[in-house]
Amino acid sequence: MKNKMMYVVMGGAILTAVNSTMAAVSTFDEEALDPETHWGGAGTAVTGFISGDAYFPHNADDWSWEGFVYSNMTDTTTPGYMNQFSAITGGGVEDSNNFGICAIPLDWMTGTYDPIPQSVSFEESTEVAGAYFTNITFPYLSMRDGDFFAKKFGGPDGTDPDYFRLIITGVDSYGNETGSVIFYLADFRASNDSEDYIVDQWTWVDLSPLGAVISLEFTMESSDMGAFGINTPTYFGIDNLTTVPKPIDVVVDIRPGSQINPVSTRSNGCLPITISGTESFDIESIDTDLLCLQGVACLRSFKVDVSAPTPESESTQPTTLGGDGYEDLVAVFDVQEIIAALGDVSDGQVWQLALTGTLNDGTPIQGSDEILIKGKHR
């Protein structure tokens, strides 16, 4: 089991997936709904849906449901269970139509009444940038005013240290937990009552500390507990779950035309590299200001058709000299800065230098090639 970290943040349909090289966003807006309606819920036979890069499960019987639905319902004033498909914000992020809702059931079958976590999953290991969260109208009004089942948060005089929180845990492809992020949907624990709050806006929660995950597990905790578990209705709203785009591999050649790529530790010159343009990759799309080789920024760059990728881009000779009809990007780096970035080097060592950067649309790129060290680091 990996060491777990915890971070605290205060404050059946198919929805089309986004190209895997771009940041995928689960907007829940791909499928249109009739006004003031929702997908899923009790009495439906549907079992889940895909939005962005994520699969959202759903289970239901004639009288109840659990997991995720999506909705465009806007009722922010009606209390009670019958208003379980409206967000307190009155809509999605930035007034978008649809948003997601999760209902977390309590384990009455075993008599523990513990929350049963619900998971969002991905087809492959994925880094998640974050998502927006808010309260659903049903629990919001329950916490604000109290109801037959649950207390008014803060109690009669507003001093009870109540809280309602969402816990998001990352799970990697080996089944290990990668860490947890806590988001408080309501927090009355402050000594100053004026700092008490119940979330009524969409709030961005950074999930990048969870790293690469195959799924996100959601559960909830409340200070308002009874004989049958949590009294607070265990729902939350979610929108714009955003994954980190996967890097595009580019063909990198250090000193085109040279197989050995010798680099002298005494050189005060420059090290040129090429990034090959191809029929499917236009080097005009590269943000040259963000190009780095082994963490070192490039001095300058220019475009010229100087080489062609070899079959399968062999690491010993990624390209051959001579144009192929597609412009390449030549980027130039300071040799001494590269040597300094490598640290302690010795004559005859072979180093793999990593190129990183982004396209103009923010998609990361990566590539690498080898150099041969000549001489010792001064």
> If you count them, how many residues does the chain have?
378
Q: Could you tell me the residue ranges of all domains in the chain?
A: 6-243, 248-374
CA distance 208 to 190: 27
Smallest Cα–Cα separation from 370: which of 294, 267, 265, 276?
A: 294
Tell whether the model's pLDDT for residue 45 goes beyond 60.
yes
Tell whether the model's pLDDT for residue 312 goes beyond 90.
no
The per-residue pLDDT for 12 is: 39
Interval 146-194: pLDDT, tens: 999 999 999 999 999 999 999 999 999 999 999 999 999 999 999 999 9
The per-residue pLDDT for 309 is: 85
- Confidence at 118, pLDDT banded by 50, 70, 90: very high
Of the chain, the percentage scoring pLDDT greater than 90 comes to 83
3-class DSSP state for residue 321? strand
Segment 106-115 shows an average pLDDT of 95
- Confidence at 8, pLDDT banded by 50, 70, 90: low
- Confidence at 11, pLDDT banded by 50, 70, 90: low
Tell whether the model's pLDDT for residue 74 goes beyond 90.
yes
The CATH fold of domain 6-243: Jelly Rolls (2.60.120)
- Confidence at 18, pLDDT banded by 50, 70, 90: very low
Of the chain, the percentage scoring pLDDT greater than 70 comes to 92
Compute φ and ψ for 144, nearest 5 degrees: -70, -40
Tell whether the model's pLDDT for residue 20 goes beyond 70.
no
Q: Which CATH class is domain 248-374?
A: mainly beta
Segment 258-276 shows an average pLDDT of 92
The per-residue pLDDT for 258 is: 80
CB–CB of 342/230 below 8 Å? Answer: no
Helices (H), the chain: 137-145, 335-342
Tell whether the model's pLDDT for residue 232 goes beyond 60.
yes
What's the whole-number average pLDDT of the chain?
91
CA distance 234 to 5: 24
CA distance 272 to 263: 11
More confident residue, 255 or 242: 242
The per-residue pLDDT for 153 is: 98
3-state helix, strand, coil split of the chain in percent (to 5) is 10, 45, 45
- Confidence at 314, pLDDT banded by 50, 70, 90: very low
Segment 272-301 shows an average pLDDT of 95
The per-residue pLDDT for 311 is: 72
The per-residue pLDDT for 3 is: 41
Tell whether the model's pLDDT for residue 16 goes beyond 80.
no
